[in-house]
Amino acid sequence: MREFADLRVRKPADPAEFERMILTAKELGYRHLGVVFNGDRVTDENSLGMDVISRVELSPTSPGDLLSSLRRVRDRFEVVAVDCSSKAVARQAAKDHRVDILMFPGDLSEKKAIGLDEQEATLAAGIGCSFEISAVELIRAGSARMAKLITRLKKETTSARRHDIPIIVSSGAASTIELREPRALSAILDLLDVEEEAALDMVSINPLNVVERNREKLKPGHTEPGVRRL
Amino acid sequence: MPVRGVRRRYIGFRVDADTKLAGEEIFEAIHSKALELYGVKGASAASLSVISYDGDEDRGVIRCSHESLRRTRAALAMISIISGSSAAIRVDRVSGTLKGLRLKTAKQEPGDIY
């Protein structure tokens, strides 16, 4: 039986709402929840039986900024995602093995919006970086914006799949009401012409592979994949 | 033995919303979203129809064609506002018959979602 993971949930300020989110996610069938901690990671989180995965999202303004942020956070969080706001940042993120997930801004106002193109896809494929789609951006969008977003995401998913880059679909929820069940998230990918089985992998196998790989890296004595200092 | 032409799926769902919503408002939102995402042709192929809605428990059942199940799920998932209130429609169970849906719902445990 599949184990589902929602790798991107934004922690609300109200602890009671956060507790409700965890309970709802559990009820919806998730066993793993990636929570965005943008400050220091809180270790004594009341996880209510849910596997809470610590995630940080970096929004660097330049490649140098990205490198210094990565040095600061890499060994403190289980998942590191980078919001690629410029071409230069996207290129740097796609070739740095410390980056787990590439995200692209949902801002479509610019004529040439930043997205996962062939060059980044080639670089990301070389280091095993994943590409993430946040369902909340589609859900919140009005018809016109949604149509544009679907066009862009279709291009990106095609690029990612051509280069065997794992795609992750997460809710991006900031409240209980924005959470969606795993099969709903995978059904949304019907809009991007992704087949059902592949879409289900994007909410189960693909995110769990990222978490498993990073938990292994964070264990004491890890030097590189397959090598441990005893 | 006669075979029914169109295979159907019954979707049991529940509504999570800021305010209490009427069944008509919910079904209007489902139809509108299906139309918005898949157009008249797609919505017509889905053969969406309302089976029941319990306003006290915020639970209902809709029917769609077997081939449009994923599209119907997508339409339900994409709903975020109903009559001006924040809302989410969550699928509890899916079955090929109403009887099957009721049996599955009765046996359902938390976290046990189709």
Low-confidence ranges of chain B (pLDDT < 50): 111-114
What total of structural domains would you count in chain A? 1
Q: For A39-43, A73-77, A174-178, A225-229, which range has the lowest pLDDT when averaged over its residues?
A: A39-43
Q: What are residue A51's DSSP bridge partners?
A: A32
Q: Say if strands B81-82 and B85-95 run parallel, antiparallel, or are unpaired.
A: antiparallel
User: What CATH number did the domain enclosing A220 receive?
Assistant: 3.20.20.140
Q: Say if strands A222-224 and A227-228 run parallel, antiparallel, or are unpaired.
A: antiparallel
Q: How far apart are CA B86 and CA B16, in angstroms?
A: 9
- Convert the pLDDT of each residue in A56-67 to its tens digit: 999 999 999 999
Can you tell me the ipTM of this complex?
0.88
B88 interaction partners in chain A (CB closer than 8 Å): 177-180
Domain ranges of chain B: 8-98
CA-nearest residue of chain B to A26?
Answer: B111
| DSSP string for residues in A75-101 | TT-SEEEEE--SHHHHHHHHH-TT--E
Chain A touched by B35 (CB under 8 Å): no
pTM (2 d.p.): 0.89
Residue B73 to residue A184, Cβ atoms within 8 A: yes
| DSSP string for residues in chain B | ----SS-EEEEEEEEEESS---HHHHHHHHHHHHHHHHHHHHHHHHT-EEEEEETTTTEEEEEEEGGGHHHHHHHHHT--EETTEEEEEEEEEEESSHHHHHHHHHH--TT---
> Residue A54 belongs to what domain range?
4-228
A180 interaction partners in chain B (CB closer than 8 Å): 77, 88, 90
pLDDT of A14 reads: 87
Architecture of domain B8-98: 2-Layer Sandwich (3.30)
Cβ-contact A139, A169 below 8 angstroms: no
